[in-house]
Amino acid sequence: MQRLGVLTSGGDSSGMNAAIRAVVRKAIYHGREVMGIMRGYNGLIEGDLQPMNLGSVADIIHRGGTILHTARSELFKTPEGRAKAFASMQRFGLQGLIVIGGDGSFRGALQFSQEYNIPVIGIPGTIDNDIFGTDYSIGFDTAVNTVVDAINKIRDTATSHERTFIIEVMGRDSGWIALTAGLAGGAETILIPEKPLSIDELCDKLMRGYKRGKLHSIIIVAEGAASGLEVGRQIKEKTGFDTKVTILGHLQRGGTPTAFDRNLASRLGAAAVDLLLAGESGKMVGVISGRVVATDLQQAVQKNQLIDLDMYTLADILSI
Ligand code: F6P
């Protein structure tokens, strides 16, 4: 394999640039060529590719977002879109593809690989941390640190005004960001889709704290569990507490990647190149218990990384 392509797809996450850098530099180290594909699969369909060299990935290790830009391609879900993408692969002489993204992007990669017999390797990049086959996906740690920073700041004002604060965080159907940031931020309650809690139970807990003299509370709501605004409205109605809601939204997706995400991205980017050059295909690289491992993409898209319920119980015990 002499020339490979790399693209980022789906929601961006901090550390994707570090992964692109690792892919490009490891491939060049092995004497191979890399083409950067713009805007995910859309760029492949449209033939929007650019040759990458050592300099193309200089000064990006610390930058959030993705220099290749990203998209959720609807066209790539169609046979016509994938046929055009294959035509571009041939036109640009690409013999393998590295896809940095989440499970939706991997589903597309797998189908493309099977239809056209193209070697494909996936690198998990999503703040949601919901990918099977890796303990962490690129961008999750940065997002968690952003949320913890927000909790710290909100805690100051929550204490001063003796208020109840709801902080809604991202994660789609996953509670990983809410749970990890909630435990680190000392949140009183964490609502996650994997462990439903009724508003009555939540209000009972708040009231118990209030009776013990707790005058402010922070509640983290994963977007997949409930609407932060709605939870805030109901708490206010049932308890009468002065309640405010903050929705963190897309600021969780940007910012300079943490050292953890940069190192994860660098290791996974390099490992993806090694796998492709070793003749592997249909795999995703991940980190399990600190070691880089490869998992079948088929498995990665079929299963979800399960939430750590022990962590949830601990967060509950410590927030009493
Ligand atoms: O998958 C990453 C993610 O940030 C989710 O947490 C969130 O639900 C979704 O993307 C938001 O997507 P968009 O940027 O298209 O609004």
Residue 224 CB less than 6 A away from ligand 1: no
> Rounded to 5 degrees, what are φ and ψ at 119?
-65, 125
Q: Which residue, by CA, sits nearest to atom 6 of ligand 1? A: 171
The tokens of 38 are what?
Answer: 């713009």
Vertex 50: Cα angle to 49 and 52 (nearest 5)? 135
In the reported structure, the alpha carbon of residue 125 is separated from the centroid of ligand 1 by a whole-number distance in angstroms of 12
The backbone torsions φ and ψ at residue 190, rounded to the nearest 5 degrees and listed phi first, read -125, 125
pLDDT tens-place string over residues 59-97: 999 999 999 999 999 999 999 999 999 999 999 999 999
Closest CA to 290 of 121, 135, 141: 135
pLDDT in tens, 10-46: 999 999 999 999 999 999 999 999 999 999 999 999 9
Pocket test for ligand 1, best of 13, 170, 223 (most atoms within 8 A of CB): 170
The reported pTM is 0.98
Ligand 1 center to residue 231 CA distance, Å? 20
- Say how far apart CA 303 and CA 135 lie, in whole Å: 13
264-311 confidence digits (pLDDT tens): 999 999 999 999 999 999 999 999 999 999 999 999 999 888 999 999
Question: 3-state DSSP: the chain helix, strand, coil percent, rounded to 5?
Answer: 45, 20, 35
- Closest residue to atom 7 of ligand 1, CA basis: 172
Residue count of the chain: 320
From ligand 1's centre to the CA of 170, what distance in Å? 7
Note whether 178 and 221 are within 8 A (CB): yes
Q: Is the C-beta atom of 12 inside 6 A of ligand 1?
A: no
Q: How far apart are CA 318 and CA 188, in angstroms?
A: 8
Instruction: Decide: helix, strand or coil at residue 64.
Output: coil
pLDDT (tens digit, 9 = 90+) per residue, 226-246? 999 999 999 999 999 999 999
How many angstroms separate the alpha carbon of residue 23 from the centre of ligand 1?
A: 25
Query: pLDDT-based confidence at 320, cuts 50/70/90?
Result: confident
Cβ(70) to ligand 1 under 6 A? no
Q: How far apart are CA 74 and CA 105, in angstroms?
A: 11
Is there an atom of ligand 1 within 6 Å of 170 CB?
Answer: yes
Sign of CA dihedral 17, 20, 26, 32: negative
Measured distance CA(300)–CA(254) in Å, rounded: 25
If you search the block for the tokens 């994660």, which residue do you land on? 171
Task: Tell me what pLDDT residue 304 has.
Answer: 85
CA of 110 to the centre of ligand 1 (A): 22
**Residues marked as catalytic:** 128
Paired strand residues for 220: 167, 190
pLDDT (tens digit per residue) in 94-152: 999 999 999 999 999 999 999 999 999 999 999 999 999 999 999 999 999 999 999 99
Residue nearest to atom 1 of ligand 1 (CA): 11
